């Protein structure tokens, strides 16, 4: 299970021996394998063995390029260095033990190599800070701890100033692990290996949080049981006032758990209920109990009934228009967990701890909801789903789909991606499945290359209507090849489907493409989740044009304005920052 990997008990040296043998047997990186580069100011190779083990437990194939001892600056600077020749997907720059003075020197000299790396590579870069072994009795003003704190802050600021570069708080991670247990002094003095095996394994799991995002989208929905999960006791037996739920003392462990759930909700994770219960009993607690932090309005979907929970999971996914693989289910009952796990294996159903006092830390460590950046759409996701529910209700009362679309007064803005919208574009690329014509999961580095390239462009679609702002819900990538413009990626969020927005988006793309090309090439790669749009290009006047690179291709002449494609006349379209 992600975040809770237990390695087979074996000696440290046996683990390293097996990893070296594996590297010898796999010298070349194969297509589709996640390329990871490890750079450091100490001997970091042993960490790779633990990262590989953590990745294998999640069915992620990895390959490694490992920098030499304290060679990271040279690797970053030199255009033909092993790092740049390798072309990794993600690079970890992990700093080992350092005095305050040496940490300050390293942090002060880091700007130039990082900028050189960013100019030469589109890979995601993760930079750690230093572990500060604080002395609580320090008295001097310019103490070791102060120097380390400043160096760490400088690294954090440097990461924030560079696109696709992220700060890894190694100091906080070590505090969580226990700083006294971080170092194995024999390995440190004999082999310049600064971290002991146990901390390396712990660190590897956290590295996988970042690495996982290169190949798998973050989970979107936390589905929760009620009795003995959000509160103690069975409300149908003990009543609203008999459950264990208090702000202090017994029952406060459930309040702490709810507080962690709220933090996820504020980051954009949708909440749902899947509970076998009398709806009136459960709703009484949700609405009225003084210690409840989670209220009905926090939940995008509620299934409080006596149906089997696997069936409820399928209904929750359908109502939210998401795949089951977007859902995480937490339930105190091993029987219910087993049922959901066996009947809906696409959803993640982790083993909730036996003791409720462990629920909150368990959820904090469950890193499957983590994302590299939080967007405006994340923060407003619950409100956007509430608005969508109102639209769906209105649609059912409309006489025709045209009446429904017209009444929405939809406004569409298509614009080139920019600094503010780049993170959202990367999110949609990684997680959109249904209306996604190619489902190419371009990592941030590749997206950055599209932005900087002279022959490629990324466009975003922003939709609003009378019910509210749907945010950035569409992405397209155009690639120019001589007199042709190829649509590498065209996707729309499932939240805006059924309103002919795809027609208007395609028109805008054709209008942009005709400035530089005479033909527009659409591509379709079939997946289990996008088969409903297999005829999209045909229905918009494209002709079949064979296949290339595993994609069906379709061609449209741009002799006529926008290739003859017409936007939906019921929409208001604005092209922002686009000269036609």
Residues 6+ apart with CB under 8 A from 445: 89, 121, 122, 123, 124, 164
Q: Look at the chain and count its residues.
A: 580
pLDDT band at residue 154, thresholds of 50, 70 and 90? very high
Do 200 and 226 lie in a common domain?
no
CA–centroid distance for 408 within its chain: 31
Do 52 and 145 lie in a common domain?
yes
4 domain-assigned: no
pLDDT for the residue numbered 140: 58
Residue 407, domain CATH = 3.40.630.30
What share of the chain in percent tops pLDDT 90? 71
Please determine, for residue 141, whether its predicted confidence score (pLDDT) is greater than 80: no
β-partners of residue 275 are 304
pLDDT for the residue numbered 534: 96
385 domain-assigned: no
Tokens 């036609």, located at residue: 580
Do 405 and 320 lie in a common domain?
no
Do 73 and 162 lie in a common domain?
yes
Residue 362, domain CATH = 3.40.50.1000
Element (H, E) at 555: strand 551-557
Do 141 and 201 lie in a common domain?
yes
Q: What is the mean pLDDT of residues 510-516?
A: 95
Please determine, for residue 6, whether its predicted confidence score (pLDDT) is greater than 80: no
pLDDT band at residue 381, thresholds of 50, 70 and 90? confident
pLDDT for the residue numbered 142: 57
Do 347 and 426 lie in a common domain?
no
- For 19-63, give the DSSP string: HHHHHHH--SPPTTPEEEEEEESS--HHHHHHHHHHHHTTT--EE
Tokens 């290996």, located at residue: 193
Do 238 and 285 lie in a common domain?
yes
Output the average pLDDT for the chain.
91
Strands 165-168 and 221-224: unpaired
pLDDT band at residue 269, thresholds of 50, 70 and 90? very high
Do 243 and 171 lie in a common domain?
no
**Angle of helix 144-160 versus helix 100-108 axis, rounded to 10:** 20
Please determine, for residue 444, whether its predicted confidence score (pLDDT) is greater than 90: no
pLDDT for the residue numbered 186: 84
C-alpha distance from residue 142 to each of 156, 231, 252 (Å): 20, 49, 42
pLDDT for the residue numbered 4: 35
pLDDT tens, position by position, 353-378: 999 999 999 999 999 998 877 777 77
Element (H, E) at 151: helix 144-160
pLDDT for the residue numbered 346: 95
Residues 6+ apart with CB under 8 A from 266: 379
Please determine, for residue 22, whether its predicted confidence score (pLDDT) is greater than 80: yes
pLDDT tens, position by position, 198-218: 999 999 999 999 999 888 888
Please determine, for residue 130, whether its predicted confidence score (pLDDT) is greater than 70: yes
26 domain-assigned: yes
pLDDT tens, position by position, 111-127: 999 999 998 898 999 99
568 domain-assigned: yes
pLDDT for the residue numbered 378: 78
Domain of 26, in residue numbers: 12-212
Query: What is the number of structural domains in the chain?
Result: 3
**Which is nearest to 382 in space by CA: 216, 257, 222?**
222
Q: What is the mean pLDDT of residues 27-52?
A: 92
pLDDT tens, position by position, 299-337: 999 999 999 999 999 999 998 888 899 999 999 999 999
**Which is nearest to 506 in space by CA: 522, 494, 519, 526?**
522
Please determine, for residue 39, whether its predicted confidence score (pLDDT) is greater than 50: yes
Where does a domain end: 316, 335, 369? 369
377 domain-assigned: no
Rounded CA gap, 57 and 562, in Å?
A: 49
* 492 and 473 Cβ atoms separated by less than 8 Å: yes
Rounded CA gap, 349 and 366, in Å?
A: 11
Strands 270-276 and 221-224: parallel
C-alpha distance from residue 137 to each of 134, 141, 152, 172, 427 (Å): 9, 12, 21, 20, 46
281 domain-assigned: yes
């Amino acid at each position: 299970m992600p975040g809770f990997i237990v390695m087979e008990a074996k000696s440290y040296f046996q683990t390293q021996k097996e990893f070296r043998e594996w590297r010898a047997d796999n010298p070349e990186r194969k297509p589709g394998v996640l390329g990871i580069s490890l750079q450091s100011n100490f001997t970091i190779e042993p960490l790779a063995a633990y990262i590989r083990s953590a990745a294998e437990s999640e069915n992620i194939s990895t390959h490694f390029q490992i920098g030499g001892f304290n060679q990271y600056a040279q690797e970053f600077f030199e255009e033909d260095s092993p790092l740049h020749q390798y072309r990794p997907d993600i690079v970890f720059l992990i700093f080992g033990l350092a005095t305050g003075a040496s940490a300050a020197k390293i942090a002060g000299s880091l700007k130039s190599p990082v900028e050189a790396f960013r100019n030469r590579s589109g890979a995601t870069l993760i930079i750690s800070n230093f572990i500060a072994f604080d002395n609580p009795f320090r008295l001097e003003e310019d103490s070791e701890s102060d120097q380390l704190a400043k160096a760490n802050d400088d690294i954090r600021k440097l990461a924030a100033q560079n696109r696709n570069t992220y700060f890894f708080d190694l100091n906080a991670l070590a505090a969580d692990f226990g700083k006294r247990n971080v170092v194995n002094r024999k390995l440190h003095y004999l082999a310049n290996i600064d971290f002991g095996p146990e901390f390396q394994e712990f660190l590897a799991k956290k590295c996988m949080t970042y690495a996982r995002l290169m190949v798998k989208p973050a989970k979107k929905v936390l589905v929760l049981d009620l009795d003995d999960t959000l509160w103690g006791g069975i409300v149908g037996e003990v009543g609203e006032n008999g459950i264990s739920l208090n702000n202090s003392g017994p029952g406060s462990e459930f309040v702490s758990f709810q507080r962690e759930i709220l933090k996820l909700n504020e980051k954009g994770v949708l909440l749902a209920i899947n509970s076998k219960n009398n709806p009136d009993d459960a709703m009484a607690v949700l609405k009225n109990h003084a210690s409840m932090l989670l209220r009905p309005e926090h939940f995008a979907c509620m299934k409080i009934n006596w149906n089997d929970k696997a069936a409820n999971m399928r209904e929750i996914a359908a109502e939210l228009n998401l795949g089951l693989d977007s859902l995480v289910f937490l339930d105190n009952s091993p029987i219910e967990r087993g049922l959901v796990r066996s009947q809906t294996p696409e959803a993640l159903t982790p083993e909730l701890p036996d003791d409720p006092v462990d629920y909150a830390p368990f959820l904090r460590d469950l890193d499957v909801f983590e994302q590299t950046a939080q967007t405006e759409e994340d923060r407003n996701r619950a409100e956007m789903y509430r608005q969508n529910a109102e639209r769906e209700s209105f649609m059912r009362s409309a006489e025709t789909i045209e009446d429904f679309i017209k009444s929405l007064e939809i406004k569409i803005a298509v614009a080139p991606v920019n600094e503010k919208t780049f993170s959202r574009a990367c999110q949609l690329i990684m997680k959109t499945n249904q209306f996604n014509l190619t489902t190419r999961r371009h990592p941030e580095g590749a997206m950055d290359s599209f932005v900087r390239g002279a022959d490629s462009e990324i466009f975003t679609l922003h939709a609003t209507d009378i019910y509210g702002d749907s945010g950035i819900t569409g992405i397209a990538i155009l690639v120019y090849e001589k007199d042709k413009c190829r649509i590498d990626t065209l996707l729309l969020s499932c939240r805006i489907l059924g309103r002919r927005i795809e027609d208007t988006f395609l028109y805008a793309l054709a209008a942009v493409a005709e400035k530089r090309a005479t033909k527009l090439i659409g591509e379709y790669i079939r997946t289990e989740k996008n088969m409903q749009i297999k005829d999209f290009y045909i229905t918009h006047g494209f002709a079949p044009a064979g296949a290339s690179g595993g994609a069906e291709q379709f061609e449209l002449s741009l002799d006529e304005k926008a290739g003859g494609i017409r936007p939906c006349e019921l929409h208001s379209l604005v092209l922002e920052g686009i000269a036609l």
